[in-house]
Amino acid sequence: RKEVEQDPGPFNVPEGATVAFNCTYSNSASQSFFWYRQDCRKEPKLLMSVYSSGNEDGRFTAQLNRASQYISLLIRDSKLSDSATYLCVVNWGGGSNYKLTFGKGTLLTVNP
Amino acid sequence: AAGVIQSPRHLIKEKRETATLKCYPIPRHDTVYWYQQGPGQDPQFLISFYEKMQSDKGSIPDRFSAQQFSDYHSELNMSSLELGDSALYFCASSLVRSGTTDTQYFGPGTRLTVL
C-alpha cells in the first residue's frame, strides 16, 4: 500500500466549479502536511500547508483529520489557471529528517 | 525573492557516463533535499543534507552520491548511468529549526536524458 494515497483523477470541471481532492496517509506519526501543485514539466510549488484546525487561502481550503489520517483540498470558483496536478504531501521526519512523501497526484483540468 | 537554483537545466548523457547536478539553496537555508521524478511518477526522495552532513537517505542507488559544501550548495554525482536514470531531478531547500515545521521549496529541476 502506498504511504500517501490520492484520488486518481483526472478531474475535468468547468470554470466556476467547486472541486474537492481527498488524500489518506498510512503513517500515524506523520508530522506535517501540504498540498503542492505541479504544472507540466515544472517543479512542485507549495500551495498550502494543512493544519488540524483547517485553513483557508482565498478560494482554497484545506482540512486535516488526524484520527482518520485524511487530508482534503477544496477549490472554489475554479479558474483556468488552476489546471495542474495537485500533490498531497506528508512529512513524517523528525529532527532534520524532513523528507517529503508524495501522493501520485491528481490532475485537474478546468475548461472554459 | 531568491529561489533554489539548479544547474544544468537539461543534460543529455550516454549509458555508462557520469553526470553531476548542482543545487544552490535559498540563501540562509540549511537543508537540501534531492528528489527524482520519473515520467508520469511522483517525486521520490533520494537524499538530504543538514548543515553539510547527510541527514537522511531514501531510494538512492549506490551509483549515486551527493554532498553539501561549506557554502551550502549541493552536488549529486551519478555514475554508470542507465536508461532508467532518465528523469527530472529536483533539489529542494528548507530552513530547519528545532520545534518548527519546515517548508521545502523546490528548484526548477534538471532534466536528465540517458541515451
A96 touches chain B (CB under 8 A): yes
Residue with cell 490532475: A107
Residue (of A59, A75, A57, A86) closest to A14 by Cα position: A75
- Residue A91, min C-alpha distance to chain B (Å): 9
User: B56 and A99 in contact by Cβ < 8 A?
Assistant: yes
- Computed over every residue of chain B, the mean pLDDT equals 92
For the cut 60, the answer to whether the pLDDT of residue A67 exceeds it is yes
B105 touches chain A (CB under 8 A): yes
For the cut 90, the answer to whether the pLDDT of residue A27 exceeds it is no
Residue with cell 489557471: A81
Report the alpha-carbon distance of residue A78 to residue A2 in Å, rounded: 29
B92 DSSP β-pair partners = B33, B106
Residue with cell 527524482: B36
- Do residues A98 and B102 touch, judged by C-beta distance below 8 A? yes
pLDDT at position B28: 86
Residue with cell 472541486: A19
Report the alpha-carbon distance of residue B8 to residue B20 in Å, rounded: 9
User: Which residues make Cβ contacts (< 8 Å) with residue B98, sequence separation at least 6?
Assistant: none
Torsion of CA A88, A91, A92, A95, to 10 degrees: 180
Mutation pick from B7, B100, B104, B105 vs chain A, by most beta carbons of A within 10 Å, is B104
Report the alpha-carbon distance of residue A55 to residue A108 in Å, rounded: 21
Residue (of A14, A34, A33, A23) closest to A83 by Cα position: A14
A52: exposed, middle or buried (Cβ count in 10 Å: 0-12, 13-18, 19+) = exposed
- Do residues B3 and B105 touch, judged by C-beta distance below 8 A? yes
Please give the average per-residue pLDDT across A60-87, as a whole number.
Answer: 95
Model pLDDT for residues B9-57, shown as the tens digit of each residue: 999 999 999 999 999 999 988 889 999 999 989 999 999 998 889 988 8
- Computed over every residue of chain A, the mean pLDDT equals 90
In the numeric block, which cell numbers belong to residue B8? Answer: 544544468
CA–centroid distance for A97 within its chain: 21
Residue in chain B closest to A93 (alpha carbons) equals B56
H-type alpha helices, A1-112: none
pLDDT at position B96: 75
For the cut 90, the answer to whether the pLDDT of residue B80 exceeds it is yes
- Residue B16, min C-alpha distance to chain A (Å): 25
- Do residues B9 and B108 touch, judged by C-beta distance below 8 A? yes
For the cut 70, the answer to whether the pLDDT of residue B109 exceeds it is yes
